[in-house]
Structure 1
Amino acid sequence: MNNSVSSYAYALPVLPLASKADSDRAARLLKQNTGIVLGAHKEDMMARTLGTRTLACGLDRVDHYLDYLENSGEEPEWTNFVNAFTINHTAFFREQHHFDILADFISARPKPIDIWCSAASTGEEAYSIAMTVRESCVAPDSNVSILATDIDTEAIQKAKLGIYTHERIEPVEQAFKQKYFLRGKGKQEGFVRVKPVLRNMLQFGVVNLNGSNWPSNNSFDVIFCRNTMIYFDKNAQVRLLERFAAAMKPGGLLFVGHSENFSHLTKAFRLRGQTVYVRN
């Protein structure tokens, strides 16, 4: 008897190849629907993602997938397509000076206050805002409203759960870790969960900043939109800034990313400080 271990070769699915024309077409669809512009350096990522989505839909050609995508309207595959190209780079208390400015603003601003975290990703930024509010406002549960939205449906679901690894909350100061997070036990060892006192301050939703499903509230005191508009072209940036201005109270604050400068694009805002703008 041959006791040697038999080896079996399992054929891995072969990703359909995206042509340059396929990638260009997909980039146009992405821009038209989300405003996101993918640079030339993202072509390899675009091709891999298109191949993956094509295979997931049971198709063998990327151009057939794109036909299906265009004909499917608001069907679930559009959500999968957008999620696949969404960049979710975020962290707790990223750019700490923004939260110092927010704390001072909340303390002095007449109540009630409405805050919109418009590119909330997986929630780290939104919960950083909530912690800042609780530490800066006498009655945060009744005086401050926080809306957290993102175009990525999977990211916003993670934000709702509020579950993170210990490594993710490393930027949070120790007192806040003890005050606002529960340590996981057993199977949840190594994870923490945001306490209800913080999580209940937030309302979550899916919003395409380039679309029509914006919040009905047009009186925000604060809007966070950090490291998002860098993925839009100039015309889309101008349109978004105009829409933000229309949704804000005079004197409200717009927080943007560290590499974003829009002073030359709009008269609706004036620069207050490093990447912080005031609604005129």
Structure 2
Amino acid sequence: MTGVNQVAVERANQRELEFTDRDFQRIRALIAERAGIVLAEHKRDMVYSRLGRCVRNRGLRRFSDYLKWLIDGSEQEAWQEFVNALTTNLTAFFRESHHFDLLVSHIKDRRDPVRIWSAGASTGEEPYSIAMALAEALPTLAKLEIFASDIDSEALARARSGIYSLEQVRRQVSEERMRRCFLKGSGQRSGYVRVRPELARHVRFEPLNLIGQHWPVQGRFDAIFCRNVMIYFDRDTHTRLLERFARLLKKDGLLFVGHSENFTNITQSFRLRGQTVYTLA
């Protein structure tokens, strides 16, 4: 028995819930089928921790029983809970700030309708950052539309609320932007802030599965943000998504991706314009 397998067996023996290698492989296959997410072998502990809550919530002691219940039951809410548990939501206001500077330069002073898609909106920090940046660049927000989507229903619910801790926002947003774009809570809401309604109304949150056949998307976009999302997909999925994104961008549209994502050799539909920013070829 190898050292790695020995560690896996020892961990399994210490676990409260029964979680076998077969369970893990079934979970990997199910999340890949449902959401396109490729779970690496070293994600076992993460899967046990996150999905273990779902097993306990059903009053079960074995992952195999939970998976049987999930597959046999086919309840949409149960499958959504499964996907939510295995989705990673790591985001921040104005993350990779150079992207917002380039977006402002690209969009500044336009009088035509401006449409942006945040395709991996998570808990809302990215689309609200887009709205804040463009509020400073456009002569009016009347024709601004930001479509924000995610597969995680719990993350979308938090995003729609537009409520964040004051401490979090202060770390990521300047005091000037704080005054312009947020309302401070009081009483029970003390210590929290909310995105101002006049800004939030330009952001529309909708559930969307990027590997699904139907996207509730119409028209073309000036820019698509899909950052740190495709790192969870395989190469074939990258190719399919990039081709679909290309058909939804305006002629001079921009595709923003994450700092560790490089698609130069995957598709001929895009060419690299700048640091993790692509334009149509």
Whether TM exceeds 0.5 here: the answer is: yes
Call closer, same or farther: CA 1:17–1:50 in 2, change over 3 Å.
Answer: farther
Matches within 5 A, 1:113-152: 113-141=114-142, 143-152=143-152
Structure 1 Cα separation of the partners of residues 108 and 265 of structure 2: 30
Structure 1 Cα separation of the partners of residues 111 and 251 of structure 2: 12
- Does residue 89 in structure 1 map to residue 93 in structure 2? no
Paired-residue identity, %: 47
In structure 1, what is the equivalent of residue 280 of structure 2?
A: 279
Matches within 5 A, 1:177-188: 177-188=178-189
- Does residue 158 in structure 1 map to residue 158 in structure 2? yes
Between 54-63 and 268-277, the greater mean CA deviation after superposition:
54-63
Superposed CA RMSD in Å reads: 1.5
8 A Cα contact 1:17 1:51, kept in partner:
no
In structure 1, what is the equivalent of residue 239 of structure 2?
A: 238
8 A Cα contact 1:114 1:221, kept in partner:
yes
Counterpart AA for 1:96 = S
8 A Cα contact 2:51 2:85, kept in partner:
no
User: Post-superposition shift, 1:72?
Assistant: 3.3
8 A Cα contact 1:218 1:246, kept in partner:
no
Call closer, same or farther: CA 1:108–1:253 in 2, change over 3 Å.
Answer: farther
Give the number of the structure whose residues are more often helix, by fraction: 2
8 A Cα contact 2:38 2:233, kept in partner:
yes
Structure 2 Cα separation of the partners of residues 79 and 52 of structure 1: 14
8 A Cα contact 2:258 2:276, kept in partner:
yes
Structure 2 Cα separation of the partners of residues 241 and 101 of structure 1: 20
Residue deviations 1:46-104, cap 9 Å, x none?
Answer: 12333321221233331122122223335201010000011111000011100000001
Post-superposition, which runs of at least 4 consecutive aligned residues in structure 1 deviate over 6 A? none
- Does residue 63 in structure 1 map to residue 64 in structure 2? yes
- Does residue 29 in structure 1 map to residue 50 in structure 2? no
Between 49-58 and 147-156, the greater mean CA deviation after superposition:
49-58
Between 132-141 and 146-155, the greater mean CA deviation after superposition:
132-141
Call closer, same or farther: CA 1:106–1:52 in 2, change over 3 Å.
Answer: same
In structure 2, what is the equivalent of residue 261 of structure 1?
A: 262
**Matched residues, number:** 266
User: Post-superposition shift, 1:266?
Assistant: 0.6
Residue deviations 1:112-156, cap 9 Å, x none?
Answer: 121110101111111000011111111222x22111111110101
Q: Is there any run of 5+ residues in structure 2 with no aligned partner, and where?
A: 1-14
Q: Which structure has the larger Rg?
A: 1
Q: Is there any run of 5+ residues in structure 1 with no aligned partner, and where?
A: 1-13
Structure 1 Cα separation of the partners of residues 216 and 105 of structure 2: 26
Matches within 5 A, 1:100-111: 100-107=101-108, 111=112
Matches within 5 A, 1:164-183: 164-169=164-169, 170-183=171-184
In structure 2, what is the equivalent of residue 8 of structure 1?
A: none
In structure 1, what is the equivalent of residue 194 of structure 2?
A: 193
Residue deviations 1:217-261, cap 9 Å, x none?
Answer: 141121101011011111111111111112222221000001110
User: Post-superposition shift, 1:212?
Assistant: 2.6
Q: What is the SS of the residue equivalent to 2:172? A: coil
8 A Cα contact 1:15 1:52, kept in partner:
no
- Does residue 249 in structure 1 map to residue 262 in structure 2? no
Q: What is the SS of the residue equivalent to 1:128? A: helix
Q: What is the SS of the residue equivalent to 1:167? A: helix
8 A Cα contact 1:17 1:47, kept in partner:
no
